[in-house]
Amino acid sequence: MEPYPLEPFRIKMTEPVRPTTREERERLLQKAGYNVFRLPSWSILVDLLTDSGTGAMSQEQWAALFLGDEAYAGARSFERFQAAVQDYTGKRFVLPVHQGRAAEKILAQALIQPGDTVISNTFFDTTLANFLFRGARAVELPAPESHDFESDAPFKGNVDLAALEQTLQDLKRRGRRVALFTMTITNNTRGGQPVSLDNLRRTAEVLKAYEVPFHIDACRASENAYFIKKREPGQESRSIAEIVRESLSFADVVTMSTKKDGLANVGGFIATDREDLYREFSQYLVLWEGFLTYGGLSGRDLEAIAVGLKESLEESYLAYRIGQVAYLASGLREQGVPVYWPPGGHAVYVDAKAWLPHIPREQFPGQALVVALYREGAVRAVELGSLMFGKEKQVERELVRMALPRRVYTQRHLDHVLETFGRLAPERHRLHGFRIVYEPPYLRHFLAELAPVAP
């Protein structure tokens, strides 16, 4: 098992967590329609639903909140935010948004026409939904090694370059327009796996030849850069900041939810060097988010993000963060739980169908595991399988993701997760599947209601 990393901080403020009984959790599950998005957070002991907006801010971030300039236009907080984003991305034009999907909506409106194709290493769910909502067809081309759950390949988040070239050629021959290519770094729905600098560079070359705009979804660009520094030949002596900037230099447009590597509880941005795109995005920003200098955020949020972006580049922080993920993943692997290997940047991914082979896909084995983790240990994880994606695409594996909030949980919390799996293991053949009793047309996993299927 990987050693637990030493935290490069100490704790100054605490948030109480209330213990609950199994009966209480069973009642809450029923009330929530067995959808853990509908559970109250007070009933959760270790919340690994997402790493998005759930991190702990540093003392520097809390201090920065007091500097918030809440002017509607021209706030000083925006200047600090803009400078921080320019520094992080190396891009000139910066538009703040209230969270990542707002950036995706603006991008979709500006670049996608109904019937266009969009291509990616793999889209995140909100990105995919926003692009499909505009009438696009989506093609995902993850690297072949990403299908292998076991191998130690260093950059399983890469796009399959040969397939990309082939797809672009075919679409061109058929006279079909490609609106954009999205590289998601790290690749959230593929094990949180990194994308190499080499893959980014070559992708940019291919896209240039076909005149397709290159979009980078940079939610976890700092974590991605840490993997590049550790694994890519020739990168070991560069700073994380330099690697992030070079990674993003290949993109025409960068979007980021600063709820992830922005180390903030809210926010996001669009950044580009292209003035034509900046002007077009600006119109939609004013229409949907707010004026150019706040984009749906308060001045104090802009301040916290400006500090957080910088902190995410500290190597001691990233070593701790990625070490924590490796600790949990290796602990589960030692118990025989099938986890995606090597561990990714922000989360551990379990192949629920492999662990619960008796539950058919149509009965959502991932959700069965998610429900069992909560019932047994008040641990909240999230399904990334047929419930989340079954309507939009062919799902390869029924995954359950446990995402680690940044700077929040201790070793004992993670040991509690390991123990919960340990207690479930001998009983797991008794777990049963679920059926959907209500679902909305888009992003159904957030709002769906389920019922147990009798064993």
> Restricting to residues 19-38, which ones interact with ligand F0G according to CB under 6 A?
none
Query: Taking CB under 6 A as the rule, does residue 160 contact ligand F0G?
Result: no
CB neighbours of residue 32 within 10 Å: 18
257 binds ligand F0G (CB under 6 A): yes
Q: Which is nearer to ligand F0G, 254 or 436 (CB)?
A: 254
∠ Cα 448 140 342 (to 5°): 85
CB of 91 to ligand F0G, least distance (A): 18
Structure tokens at 345: 């940047």
Q: Is 124 in the site for ligand F0G (CB under 6 A)?
A: yes
Compute the distance between CA of residue 265 and CA of residue 78 in angstroms, rounded to an integer: 17
Give the range of 95-103, 208-216, 235-243, 428-436 binding ligand F0G by CB under 6 A.
95-103
Residue 99 interacts with ligand F0G (CB under 6 A): yes or no: yes
Give the nearer residue to ligand F0G in terms of CB position, either 220 or 300: 220
Q: Which two tokens stand for residue 243?
A: 């690697």
If one asks whether residue 50 binds ligand F0G (CB under 6 A), the answer comes out as yes
- What tokens does 237 get? 């002596």
DSSP secondary-structure letter at 435? E
Does 193 interact with ligand F0G (rule: CB under 6 A)? no
Binding to ligand F0G (CB under 6 A) within 2-21 occurs at none
Residue whose C-alpha is closest to residue 226's, from 306, 321, 125, 84: 321
Rounded Cα distance, 160 and 400, in Å: 24
Q: Measured from the CB of residue 217, what is the shortest distance to ligand F0G in angstroms?
A: 5
Does the footprint of ligand F0G cover residue 52 (CB under 6 A)? yes
Binding residues for ligand F0G, total number by CB under 6 A = 16
Q: Does residue 78 belong to the site contacting ligand F0G (CB under 6 A)?
A: no
- Part in contact with ligand F0G (CB under 6 A); list of ranges 97-105, 230-238, 277-285, 421-429: 97-105
Tokens matching residue 368: 């069965």
| 247 touching ligand F0G, by CB under 6 A | no
* Position 184 contacts ligand F0G (CB under 6 A): yes
Distance CA 380, CA 234 (A): 39
In sequence order, what are the beta bridge partners of 383?
400
Q: Buried b vs exposed e over 426-453: b needs ≥16 C-beta within 10 Å?
A: eebeebbbbebeebeebbbbeebebebe
CA angle at 25 for the pair 266 and 360, rounded to the nearest 5°: 90
The verdict on 194 binding ligand F0G (CB under 6 A) reads no
Residue ranges that bind ligand F0G, judged by CB under 6 A? 50, 52, 99-101, 124, 126-127, 184, 188, 217, 219, 257, 259, 268, 403
